[in-house]
Copies of this chain bind each other. A is one copy, B any other.
Amino acid sequence: MKCDGEIPEATLRRYPKYLAFARALAEQEWDYVTSADIARACDVTEMLIRKDMTFTGVTGRPHLGYPILGLIAALTEAIGWDRPRRLVIAGAGKVSETLADVFPFARYNVTPTLVVSEDPAFLGKEIHGMPVVSPEEFRRRQQEDPVSLAVLTTGGSRAQHVSDDLVEHGVKAIWNFTDTSLTVPSDVVVVDAAISSDLAVLSRCLTARSL
Contact = CB atoms under 8 A, between A and B. Distances in A.
A48 interface: no
A202 B181 contact: no
A17 interface: yes
A78 to B, nearest CB: 8
B102 A94 contact: yes
Interface stretch (A119-127, A130-138, A161-169, A172-180): A172-180
A195 interface: yes
A149 B207 contact: no
Interface in A53-88: 78-81, 83, 85
B195 A193 contact: yes
A191 B4 CA distance: 27
A184 to B, nearest CB: 10
Interface of A: 1, 3-5, 7, 9, 12-17, 20-21, 41-43, 78-81, 83, 85, 93-95, 97-98, 101-104, 108, 110, 148-149, 172-173, 175, 179, 181, 183, 189, 191-209, 211
